[in-house]
Amino acid sequence: MLLRLLLLLALCGAGSAAMVVSVSLRGSWRIRSGNGSLELPAEVPGCVHSALFHQRLIQDPYYRFNNLNYRWIALDNWTYIKKFKIPFDLSKWRKVKLVFEGVDTVTVVLLNNIPVGETDNMFRSYSFDITHVVQAVNILEVHFQSPVIYADQRSKVHTHYSVPPNCPPRVQDGECHVNFIRKAQCSFSWDWGPSFPTQGIWKDVRIEAYNICHLNYFTFTPIYDNNIQEWNLEIESCFDVISSKPVLGQVIIAIPELKIQQTNSVELQHGERIVKLFVKIDKSVTIETWWPHGHGNQTGYNMTVLFKLDGGLSFEKSAKVYFRTVELIEEPIKGSRGLSFYFKINGLPIFLKGSNWIPPDSFQDRVTSALLRLLLQSVVDANMNALRVWGGGIYEQDEFYELCDELGIMVWQDFMFACALYPTDQDFMDSVRAEVSYQVRRLKSHPSVITWSGNNENEAALMLNWYDIQPGNLSTYIDDYVTLYVKNIRRIVFEGDQTRPFITSSPTNGAKSTAEGWLSENPYDPNYGDVHFYDYVGDCWNWKIFPKARFVSEYGYQSWPSFSTLEKVMQAQCVKTETEFYRRSRSEIVHGEGHTMGALYWQLNDIWQAPSWSSLEYGGKWKMLHYFARHFFAPLLPVGFENEDVFFIYGVSDLHSDHKMMLTVRVHTWSSLEPVCSETTKPFVMKAGEAALLYDKPVAELLRGCTNCTRQSCVVSFYLSTARELLSPTNYHFLSSPKEAKGLHKANITATISQQGDTFVFHLKTSAVAPFVWLDVGSIPGRFSDNGFLMTEETRTVFFYPWKPTNESELERSFHVTSLADIY
């Protein structure tokens, strides 16, 4: 059996007694069912479902109704087993630990048949002292309890009052009492995802041995002192000191690009010791700040921290340090009741454009580095700058946040509590406190994380009485809410991180909720905080149904995956209409409402192949909505809409400076590829970071100037440009429902495909005006430069960016094109 011996920290010229060694236990294990009838190989990191599938003992869990057929897996108590040898002389090490970075979820851990620890929380690491148990040859057993049965047992023990909801809606085929277990809440089912309550060692596991002391964790926080306009750096390190004598030494902090070389003396006493270091950065040194995508560079600086301790013992950590400030601004707005709700990054108000992130798979071992990069690259490729990590999934893996740092994606980070009330008994709270401390410590050095949020929709669930709580019992649940999110989570967050805001819930009324005792009577008040908005009854092409709120952190519509086009058209157009409404509302107050500064639609990605609200299919393929997002989140955008039979066009700018430009408006008939009329405004200045009215004209007047045009026979397109270049996407406005279009012919669209380097060029030609032109190359992975577009000219060039090697002939065989007339 191969064990990877990793010499983490070695010292020059010293004996082995002063080193720290780490033995990885990743790789091959065995798992056994509760009654011993099944025993099979398994990989760590991994889970039971994946092991059974890889051994062909079950089909793909996502196939047909296997979420029901394989319910027995989650109801069993599985055991992970590994036999291993220690590849070093144990007698030379004073302390040996067993470290789990992530266990899913409830276990008893035995080494050589001796209990060494227990776990009950998927969202934290565990470290167990095995110094007096470990041998040269060992058997490690991790005994899992069914998460479904555990949650049920914990709910039954909580006898003094119920903690709703007990079970998900029956249509979800889910499991009950997920709020009693610290595990991905969606693993017991959600309205977009299956019930697969996994069991497994889902992150790294290793053995560490050391003498003298060991570095348990290392974290840091850049802090800007606004009073003296100076950057500082706080560095925190935690040591386990087993030496009975004080351990002396030096810490050398180096950031070469900032001309920093600082040395501090340290003295470590016996026990767990935290060392805090403070680095003042000279004001004469120019620091480039980290900016969100579309607003500047994501500059970071390489830092090394070297601990040189007694006996030649050394510990070295390397990290990338980013500098940025974040403020949540809640202040009065002239002409409006309520308060603003927007984020400033490095002192600049930023409109958050993006979506909501859910786990990209029910089985975390399937989430590869390549998949994370593909999904997150698709975020910035669609002109987004923000994601909300939704509170019913997981705190994502380190690589997710590293990629967000690199790509400039701001992260609204929920804590993992969603759509439920929660217990506050001692065991549960102890587990939550450890979870929150661990996650804050792990994530606070990432500039991408701009805010913490206590939960998803739990303030609304409680105050709007989703669970039919009797009025006489409400105070009990309010006390529990405040205990969990304010007295514990909020307190722990601010103890560990004072560089970013904390929001108690989403949606929330923000400062108003705080003033009302942390819970507002109506958490959906559009004049405060953020709102979630869903309406499946109203006409989603009518902008008047949408809330003119300060910040909209959830909204959306469902669609099917690739095999259906009509639903994609519906979803994409509805979200387009809604998002453009929010973007044009950023600079105005109408009837006391407005100043919208964030639009995060639900949802970015899928957890499996199913109809959902996502813009990316399971695996990353772009739906029509994602192509639309690339346009409606463009940094410079003209937005058209009607009100009382008058056609308006607003200009929306996310740019940092004013720009001179013109607006061109064209009217086309459905029956001709030549525009029937066109007008261009005089040059005007589009102000930075604003939305402004550019054009207004009664529809009747607009059509009178265009030969034989009616609402049913014509469509409007418009764009921003200078005399030399196009500055914005070309947008469009339907004057009637497309199904009422007169003169719309079924278009014959052909494509000639050629290759330019790694990119393929599709030269399109159409016989007629074609709305919602959809290009598809089947299962060939990649994306087009544009898709789902209105084709009003005879020819158009579109690029295809493959994610894996392909060729012209393969693309020609797979290519298929449809437009609206093909499906009516």
- Active-site residue list: 457, 554
| H helical segments located in 425-510 | 426-443, 458-463, 474-482, 491-496
Estimate to the nearest angstrom the gap between the alpha carbon of 58 and the chain centroid: 31
Q: Which residues contact 325 (CB under 8 A, 6 or more apart)?
A: 224, 289, 344, 345, 346, 347, 499
What percentage of the chain's residues is helix, strand, coil (to nearest 5)? 20, 35, 40
B/e letters for 765-784, b = 16+ CB within 10 Å, e = fewer, are ebebbbbbbbbbbeebebbb
Beta strands in 633-769 (DSSP E): 636-643, 646-653, 659-669, 675-680, 684-686, 691-698, 714-721, 731-734, 749-756, 759-766
CB 144 within 8 A of CB 106: yes
Tell me if the bond preceding 603 is cis, omega within 30° of 0. yes
Which single residue is written with the structure tokens 């630990």?
Answer: 97
Contact partners, residue 537, CB within 8 Å, separation at least 6? none
Question: Exposure pattern of 660-687 as b/e (b: 16+ CB <10 Å)?
Answer: ebbbbbbbbbbbebebbbeeeeeeeebe
Query: Residue 813 to residues 751, 761, 779: CA-CA distances in angstroms?
Result: 12, 15, 11
CB 615 within 8 A of CB 631: no
Answer whether 550's CB lies under 8 Å from 341's CB.
yes
- Closest of 390, 51, 38, 408 to residue 200, by C-alpha: 51
438: its two tokens? 């661990």
Closest by CA to 88, choosing from 141, 9, 10, 20, is 20
User: How many of the other CB atoms lie within 10 Å of CB of 550?
Assistant: 29
Place of tokens 């003298």: 212
C-alpha 820, offset from chain centre: 33
The H or E element that residue 575 is part of is helix 566-584
DSSP state of 499: S
Positive or negative torsion for Cα 60, 63, 69, 70: positive
Contact yes or no for 70/49 (Cβ under 8 A)? yes
Contact by Cβ (8 Å): 67, 173: yes
Query: Which DSSP helix (H) or strand (E) runs through 571?
Result: helix 566-584
Q: Are 92 and 125 in contact (CB under 8 A)?
A: no
- E-assigned strands of 34-121? 39-44, 79-85, 95-100, 107-111, 114-119
